[in-house]
Chains A and B, each alone.
Chain A
């Protein structure tokens, strides 16, 4: 059935429906490489009622729906399918209420992640999840992908902060899940089903988030190593010493050079690997932890350990790390980013395996990631126009995925399955669990209306 714009225009207004090619081309992709597909239309509802009405009208016209925020996802979660209706939630961008008495904040899904933390800051509070794209990513997208970030090690990921959700279901009905109570065991924890559901179960139209007290002090360390293995061992030793820093990031030399090329802050580009470590909390605890970690790094063969002298210097280092993925695009036209995660004790093994695999397939790879939580981002630097090389990239990825699963890891730590990783999912869900995934989808979205073909193929 061809797309009929006028019922949608009646819901959201004529100027909030895009159908011209020139308007649609920029909605044909998100932050993921290689994936591109024009939708039939993009629509911008202003509130929950409009979202619900659009879902019902999409059912009338039998259109698949893709929900989108700022389109910074890294697994193709918001890449349209042919003929799809993109529901873009950027107009639902209000912070509804910050509640310092209950340490919560209620927001619409189009609010930018960083703005949530800034609103919390005004009350001395803290919203810790900080995905690399936090300056532009929306909270709705963060919840849908269960985004992580640099502070995952100590503070957890988006899921750990979601207390309640409002969702529009595939049938157009609206449900409110969870509440502001710290304890709540009434019924199934339905909100948890929607966190990380990648837009396949419902459309998130409101989020109630938990906030925590803002740490009083923080210290940032930069440790340089002459081998990647030494850096990985230092991480294991820090964890084994029962220190949980806020951030424990790893950057290899290839990545380091790209980042320095961009931000020019004097990173030690001659090092084989660096660890960026941040500890926060009570000033005394911070001093003690920083000193202990510095000692461990030196014992593990660090060539140098620097402590950021000022807050501004620390912020620069953290920001440099957040740019790592994009900065890698300086080397080759296409950057294929992976997100494999292993138990922390297996980290050194995994890092070595990635490098051996890259060598075996004659590929250039830059690796960085959240060492402290076992979440690595090996990034292949390649060219999507070179089909032979792309074939080798996919062979290498397949081997890395198998090794990850063998080590007891997961194919994606924080980016989601989407389209990019769906061929690997059955390898990880290799028992009755895969059928369970589909069962959930079938019961909540029997017509396959919402983001069909993401995570797994329709039954």
Chain B
């Protein structure tokens, strides 16, 4: 693969596909915030096309605009013309990031630390996770926060520190065995792999455990390699295709020995799934093509293969609402399956969330790099959630989970956040124990 693809090298028909009808505008969170064309999908495409046409320099302004885009892909769902925004966007991000004259030192350092030094190495991420766990479990975090120490590192760090993911007591590697099999008496249906994710493994190992339990309950043997690599989605979305390739290949290798025996490889995080299904476009190999076909989102897999409906415990119904992860609904086109799972829970009532498919502002590491716009987008999401009167927001992506939880906490709202697969696992435990 060439070092960095450039806008000028893109197939021109991809750029030309946009006929600037404007159907994307109302779905774009940044356009809704500013009402400026530049901050809209068709505006950004016009800028990218101007670069390809030689009418605009690749400079700081273009970079700022590409960084301002959440990459939520709501525009791709809205676009009747089928414009491939993802390819254009990732190309433009890569081109601006590769340009040494662009970017502040602070942003470059932050991005370098996250992409090159942390997310590439599962052991380092786990080590950081251990430190964070100690920090949080000893109560040191409360103490440090009370002294406002994080603000010494700058205002944005101060604001973000409480949002640091709460580490689980046990990480995925500690609570999930490499191979697990359905209990006695459950008919075996086949074998699946589980992608435990990087942040998910540390901060949402319980969701991973629930995913495995649900699969076991439905007759699937589960293979979960230890110390899994990041899938590379963070790298691809942030203009580092080379690193995305490297970490993606590492991850594929970890599944290598069981690859052909697995009926599917399951992902339970929307943001990762969207990227995990597109390794072929990144790597171009036959193996990657087979991999893409095997990767399934957990909800998609359960609905396609069928899952057992848990029994009712009776009593008052738990009122839920469902927030869609952008890369699950826009990236993977999966909208109904999670709703079907929630609607199958006998003790829950689902209330439709207005604008459920609009971004919450988490958007990978966007909330770290663009905290102000992220907060605006989150505020609109919280307003929508309030109108439902739900006791629990359900979502299926670690970024959304943390972002919405953080937002609800800061407003002091007694609304919990959970994930469909966790609610299903819980219902199984309660109705069959």
A and B interact physically: yes
For A21, list chain B residues within 8 Å (CB).
56
Q: How far is the CB of A322 from chain B (nearest CB, A)?
A: 9
Q: How far is the CA of A137 from the CA of B23 in the complex (A)?
A: 9
Find out whether the CB atom of A262 lies under 8 angstroms from the CB atom of B37: no
> CB within 8 Å of B: which residues of A?
18, 20-23, 25-31, 33, 70-72, 90-91, 93, 112, 133, 135-137, 259, 261-263, 323, 325-327, 329-330, 333-335, 385
For B22, list chain A residues within 8 Å (CB).
30-31, 70-72, 133, 136-137
Q: How far is the CA of A117 from the CA of B22 in the complex (A)?
A: 20
Find out whether the CB atom of B80 lies under 8 angstroms from the CB atom of A136: no
For A325, list chain B residues within 8 Å (CB).
21, 80
Q: How far is the CB of B431 from chain A (nearest CB, A)?
A: 32
Q: How far is the CA of A312 from the CA of B26 in the complex (A)?
A: 21
B92 at the interface (CB under 8 A from A): no
Could you mark each residue 56-69 of chain B with 1 if its beta carbon is under 8 Å from any beta carbon of chain A, else 0? 10000110010000
Find out whether the CB atom of A133 lies under 8 angstroms from the CB atom of B56: no
Find out whether the CB atom of B16 lies under 8 angstroms from the CB atom of A22: no
Residue of A nearest to B19 (CB): A329
For B81, list chain A residues within 8 Å (CB).
326-327, 329-330
B46 at the interface (CB under 8 A from A): yes
For B61, list chain A residues within 8 Å (CB).
20, 22
Residue of A nearest to B44 (CB): A26
Find out whether the CB atom of A23 lies under 8 angstroms from the CB atom of B21: no
Q: How far is the CB of A453 from chain B (nearest CB, A)?
A: 21
Q: How far is the CB of A213 from chain B (nearest CB, A)?
A: 26
Question: Which of B16, B35, B44, B47 is within 8 Å of A90, CB to CB?
Answer: B35
B40 at the interface (CB under 8 A from A): yes
Question: Which of B16, B23, B42, B47 is within 8 Å of A334, CB to CB?
Answer: B16
Q: How far is the CB of B86 from chain A (nearest CB, A)?
A: 16
> CB within 8 Å of A: which residues of B?
12-13, 16-17, 19-23, 25-26, 35-38, 40, 42-44, 46-47, 50, 55-56, 61-62, 65, 79-82
Residue of B nearest to A383 (CB): B16
For B25, list chain A residues within 8 Å (CB).
70, 136
Q: Given A31-B22, A70-B22, A327-B80, A25 and B56 touching (CB < 8 A)? A: yes
Residue of A nearest to B61 (CB): A22
Q: How far is the CA of A327 from the CA of B80 in the complex (A)?
A: 4
For B37, list chain A residues within 8 Å (CB).
26-27, 71
Q: Given A31-B20, A71-B22, A22 and B65 touching (CB < 8 A)? A: yes
Q: How far is the CA of A262 from the CA of B78 in the complex (A)?
A: 9
For A330, list chain B residues within 8 Å (CB).
80-82
Could you count the A-B residue pairs with CB atoms below 8 Å apart for me: how many are there?
93
18 further A-B pairs in the complex, CB-CB below 8 A; given A325-B21, A325-B80: A20-B61, A22-B61, A25-B43, A26-B43, A26-B44, A29-B20, A29-B46, A31-B22, A90-B35, A93-B35, A133-B23, A326-B19, A326-B79, A327-B81, A329-B17, A330-B80, A333-B16, A334-B16
Q: How far is the CA of A325 from the CA of B55 in the complex (A)?
A: 28
Residue of A nearest to B37 (CB): A26
Find out whether the CB atom of A22 lies under 8 angstroms from the CB atom of B82: no
Q: How far is the CA of A31 from the CA of B19 in the complex (A)?
A: 7
Q: How far is the CB of B61 from chain A (nearest CB, A)?
A: 4
Question: Which of B12, B16, B17, B47 is within 8 Å of A25, CB to CB?
Answer: B47
Q: Given A262-B82, A323-B80, A333-B16, A26 and B47 touching (CB < 8 A)? A: yes
Question: Which of B12, B42, B47, B82 is within 8 Å of A261, CB to CB?
Answer: B82
Find out whether the CB atom of B46 lies under 8 angstroms from the CB atom of A26: yes
Find out whether the CB atom of A112 lies under 8 angstroms from the CB atom of B26: yes
Question: Which of B13, B26, B62 is within 8 Å of A136, CB to CB?
Answer: B26
Q: How far is the CA of A328 from the CA of B17 in the complex (A)?
A: 11
For B62, list chain A residues within 8 Å (CB).
22
Question: Which of A31, A262, A333, A334 is within 8 Å of B80, CB to CB?
Answer: A262
Q: How far is the CA of A419 from the CA of B17 in the complex (A)?
A: 22
For A261, list chain B residues within 8 Å (CB).
82
Residue of A nearest to B83 (CB): A329
Find out whether the CB atom of B21 lies under 8 angstroms from the CB atom of A25: no
Most chain B CB within 10 A, of A22, A28, A91, is at A22
For B13, list chain A residues within 8 Å (CB).
333
Most chain B CB within 10 A, of A26, A70, A261, A385, is at A26
Q: How far is the CB of B175 from chain A (nearest CB, A)?
A: 40
Find out whether the CB atom of B26 lies under 8 angstroms from the CB atom of A135: yes
Most chain B CB within 10 A, of A25, A70, A90, A137, is at A25
Q: Given A28-B46, A262-B82, A329-B17, A323 and B23 touching (CB < 8 A)? A: yes
Question: Which of A30, A137, A262 is within 8 Å of B20, CB to CB?
Answer: A30
For B40, list chain A residues within 8 Å (CB).
26
Most chain B CB within 10 A, of A30, A112, A330, is at A330
Residue of A nearest to B25 (CB): A136
Q: How far is the CB of B43 from chain A (nearest CB, A)?
A: 3
Residue of A nearest to B49 (CB): A25
For A323, list chain B residues within 8 Å (CB).
23, 80
**Would you mind naming 7 contact pairs between A and B with Cβ atoms under 8 Å apart?**
A18-B36, A21-B56, A26-B40, A262-B80, A327-B81, A329-B82, A335-B19
For A93, list chain B residues within 8 Å (CB).
35
For A262, list chain B residues within 8 Å (CB).
80, 82
Q: How far is the CA of A151 from the CA of B62 in the complex (A)?
A: 42
Q: Given A22-B47, A25-B50, A262-B80, A33 and B19 touching (CB < 8 A)? A: yes
Q: How far is the CB of B117 from chain A (nearest CB, A)?
A: 32
Q: How far is the CA of A259 from the CA of B80 in the complex (A)?
A: 8
Q: How far is the CA of A329 from the CA of B79 in the complex (A)?
A: 10
Find out whether the CB atom of A326 lies under 8 angstroms from the CB atom of B80: yes
For B35, list chain A residues within 8 Å (CB).
90-91, 93
Find out whether the CB atom of A136 lies under 8 angstroms from the CB atom of B23: yes
Find out whether the CB atom of A135 lies under 8 angstroms from the CB atom of B23: yes
Q: How far is the CB of A267 from chain B (nearest CB, A)?
A: 13
Q: How far is the CA of A330 from the CA of B22 in the complex (A)?
A: 16
Q: How far is the CA of A133 from the CA of B40 in the complex (A)?
A: 16
Q: How far is the CA of A239 from the CA of B50 in the complex (A)?
A: 49
